[in-house]
A and B are shown apart, each in its own frame.
Chain A
Amino acid sequence: MAPRSPAATADPDLALLEPEKLVEAYRLMVLARALDERMWILQRQGKVPFVITGQGQEAAQVGAALALRAGHDIVLPYYRDIALVLALGMSPRELMLSAFARAADPNSGGRQMPNHFSSRRLRILTGSSPVGTQIPHAAGAALASRLRGEDSVVLVSFGEGASSEGDFHEGVNFAAIHRLPVVFFCENNGWAISVPSRRQMNVEGVARRAAGYGIAGVAVDGQDLLAVYRAVAEAAERGRGGEGPTIVEALTYRFVPHSSDDDDRIYRSADEMAEMRRRDPIPAFRERLEAAGLWDEAKEERLRQEVAATVDDAADHAERSPQPDPATVMQHVFASSGRDGHPWRSSA
């Protein structure tokens, strides 16, 4: 059992994580937000071509990540998961290298748009842009781990829009039949670009669909980091115990337009946006930490300075890093690709 902090009785969920972990969770959210905000500025400055980020979803993402064993459990994130991959161990520099599409971008070497995450080291399986395609991959990855006798759990994340795709159904159904240890982690931010979730499904939320597969489904407040942590930890436990997959639906918000190419004023009102902002998970978590005596103004000041320096460093580092070498474009088409991408001799 984790050591209890002074105000833990007033806020029993704080006992879910050790005090250092709570503080670390807060730091990760603040850092993710700052990186995210900087990416938008860099895009508006014309320094990076495109951004797609996750402001508003930090608590859901960090909460989920902390429930996993980084580098052991397998993760298939989606494009909003900056805070999630940061919490798993991807560095701010690495994220910025991806934004700038530099050669050293660990996700794809600048081949993919930003936030198409991949890391062998962190067991993050490479992802693509068509939404939902990663969902059956999660079932397959879990199948492979189980066949080898590993106890790793697979977490795959996606939006509620993606849950309308056939691949969602096919992936969840397969995992359910085989009782695979998969956490289907839906970050429901209410919108799929301009389409609200009530036009995505005729039930109140994605977790409800779990019943149709005969698996557990839980909806949690995605702005509450500890609620998400608990739900994902329980789902992982269920998976490891042979009880099969779980759909965990984190009800969250997206504070920013869908991407740098989107104008969200067309489809949502200023009032709605202001209302959402009141449910910002970062100040909410800070208040909980302060109430528990784990945080104060001085700590906040130090953190803000440290984060600003980290973000500056990451952006500067990425901007100065070399571009990918055009001579490498034909590499990695096949395992044995030569310079022309052909795996063996051609006559040309």
Chain B
Amino acid sequence: MAVKRMIDAIREALDEELARDESVIVMGEDVGVKGGVFVATKGLIDRYGPERVIDTPLAESGIVGVAIGAAMNGLRPVAEIQFADFIYPAMDQIISEAARIRYRSNGEWQCPLVVRAPYGAGVRGGLYHSQSVESFFAHVPGLKVVIPSNPADAKGLLKAAIRDDDPVVFLEPKRGYRAIQGEVPEGDYVVPIGPARIAREGEHLTAIAYGMMLHLTMQAAERLEREGVSVEVVDLRTLAPLDRATIVESVKKTGRALVVYEDNRTLGMGAEVAAILAEEALFHLDAPVRRVAMPDVPATPYAAVLEDAVLPNVDTIAQAMRELARV
């Protein structure tokens, strides 16, 4: 297997799906001639033409709205929002429209749409190029929310998202586009939307993470291993619908749970995971569920020292693991 960067795995997925299925189109700001600001779509317009790789006007609601109409009428659009931070004008289209089309038409219409967006902090992007938006969407039944943590998953999950008959919000940890490399299987494969992945087996506690935080959590787990604490790490991969079974089973085994997410602490994914564990694994818990998350600031500040002060890192995650193991 070849080692690839996350961004290249994503481009491969788009390329292969465009080649495989004529109903797949790619659209968004700068996705054509330039190939996207992160070059995720580079070269696709040359191969598939401007009818299927569409440079749109700078209009997020319009991008998603047009994609929804195309999806209802038989296409499988992959709409790119340049940064997740700019997805808010399209929220109404995603929530009021895409998520509800199947339900509101009693199953007559469907909306097989993928909305891709680079998201997350750690790139010195300041308030408006760093946000975690996943919880807004994970709250909405009818939407699937997927966040890959490595190139192989990114490719396989994106292919699954494109083939899915439901709308998928596909969030790509932009800090990992180039930073995260990994082996990517040759040939066509999909990673199913839904199941979480045990990224690392362990005995003493379970750490639950996704996206970029998965890597920091893995590094922290290795550190704890050297200190004699064995940490199991669960990579959620799909935030909605959430794989409750895998989380609950792992925590039943270890008796302790830490949730790591770079989103604001309040009402983020950690809150949901903690609630599930309270409902379904309380009598297996040897310690209260813990969370490591960003404090409730309106978004990541720009100055390096400020950003570092709010984001979870290997030290803060490892420290939380230590404390949890000691309880």
A41 at the A/B interface (Cβ < 8 Å)? no
B65 to A170, Cβ gap below 8 A? yes
In the assembled complex, the Cα of A147 lies from the Cα of B53 at a distance in Å of 12
Q: Are A174 and B105 closer than 8 Å at their CB atoms?
A: no
B66 close to A (CB within 8 Å):
yes
Whole-angstrom distance between the Cβ of A67 and the nearest chain B Cβ: 20
Scan residues 223-238 of chain B and give those whose CB is less than 8 A from a CB of chain A.
Answer: none
Given contacts A133-B97, A341-B141, A344-B194, contact A332 B72 (CB under 8 A): no
Decide yes or no whether A163 CB sits under 8 A from chain B.
Answer: no
Which residue of B has the minimal Cβ distance to A334?
B166
- Complex Cα distance, B66 from A294, in Å, reads 44
Distance from A232 Cβ to chain B, minimum over Cβ atoms (Å): 19
Distance (whole angstroms) from the CB of A345 to the closest CB of chain B: 7
128-172 of chain B: CB within 8 A of chain A: 141-142, 144, 164-166
Chain A residues with CB under 8 Å of B142's CB are: 333-334
Residues in B neighbouring A145, C-beta threshold 8 A: 73
Is A346 within 8 A of B105, CB to CB?
no
B107 touches A331 (CB 8 A): yes
Q: What's the nearest-Cβ distance from chain B to residue A113, in Å?
A: 10
A341: nearest residue on chain B (CB-CB)? B141
Known: A170-B61, A171-B62, A335-B166. A139 touches B241 (CB 8 A): no
- Give the shortest distance, in Å, between B318 (CB) and chain A (any CB): 29
A269 interface hit (Cβ, 8 Å): no
Given contacts A107-B105, A126-B105, contact A140 B241 (CB under 8 A): no
Size category of the A interface is 35 or more
Q: Is A198 interfacial (CB 8 A cutoff)?
A: no
Q: How far is the CA of A333 from the CA of B51 in the complex (A)?
A: 31
B68 surroundings in chain A (CB, below 8 A) = 136-137, 140
Hey, which bits of chain B sit against chain A, CB under 8 A? 25, 51-52, 56-57, 59, 61-62, 64-75, 77, 89, 92-93, 96-97, 100-110, 141-142, 144, 164-166, 194-195, 241, 244-245, 248-249, 279-280
**From residue A138, how far is it (CB to closest CB) to chain B in Å?**
6
Which residues in window 107-127 of A have CB below 8 A to B? Answer: 107-109, 111-112, 116, 118-120, 125-126
Interface residues of A in 137-188 (CB under 8 A from B): 137-145, 147-148, 166-167, 169-171, 173-174, 177
> Which residues of A have CB within 8 Å of B249?
347
Whether the Cβ atoms of A133 and B65 lie closer than 8 Å is yes
Q: Does A130 contact B (CB under 8 A)?
A: yes
Contact present for B89 and A344 (CB under 8 Å): no
Q: How far is the CA of A93 from the CA of B18 in the complex (A)?
A: 44
CA distance A347 to B249 in the complex (A): 9
A144/B69 contact (C-beta < 8 A), A171-B62, A348-B244 known: yes
A321 in the interface (beta carbon within 8 A): no
The reply to whether A120 and B108 contact each other, CB–CB distance below 8 Å, is yes
Of A138, A144, A343, which one neighbours B194 at CB under 8 angstroms? A343
- Tell me the A293-334 residues at the B interface (CB within 8 Å): 331-334
Closest to B242 in A: A346
Q: Is the CB of B106 within 8 A of A136?
A: no
The answer to whether B109 and A133 have CB atoms under 8 Å apart is no
CA distance A128 to B93 in the complex (A): 10
CB neighbours of A83 from chain B (8 A): none
**Looking across the interface, which residue of chain B has its beta carbon closest to that of A139?**
B66
A143 to B74, CA, bound (A): 10
Q: Are B96 and A108 in contact (CB under 8 A)?
A: no
Asked if residues B75 and A147 are in contact (CB atoms below 8 Å), the reply is yes
| Contacting residue for B59 out of A108, A120, A173, A342, CB 8 A | A173
A76 neighbours in B (Cβ, 8 Å): 69
Is A108's CB under 8 angstroms from B89's CB? no
CA distance A343 to B164 in the complex (A): 11
- Bound form: Cα–Cα A116–B75 in Å: 23
Contact A125 B59 (CB under 8 A): no
Are A346 and B65 in contact (CB-based, < 8 A)?
no
CB closest residue in chain A, given B167: A334
A135 contacts the other chain (CB 8 A): yes
Contact, CB under 8 Å: B62 / A144: no
Q: Which of B93, B107, B144, B194 contacts A136 (CB 8 A)?
A: B93
**A46 to B: closest C-beta gap in Å:** 25
Residue pair B102, A333 in contact (C-beta under 8 Å):
yes
Contact check, A332 vs B57: say whether CB atoms are below 8 A apart.
Answer: no
B301 to chain A, nearest CB (A): 30
CB of A323, distance to nearest CB on chain B (Å): 14
Nearest first, the 3 closest Cβ-Cβ pairs linking A and B are A140-B69, A136-B65, A170-B62
B97 A174 Cβ-Cβ under 8 A: no
Q: In the assembled complex, which residues on chain B have CB atoms less than 8 Å from the CB atom of A140?
A: 65-73, 75, 77
Cα A118 to Cα B107 in complex, Å, equals 11
Q: Which residues of B contact A133 (CB under 8 A)?
A: 65, 92-93, 96-97
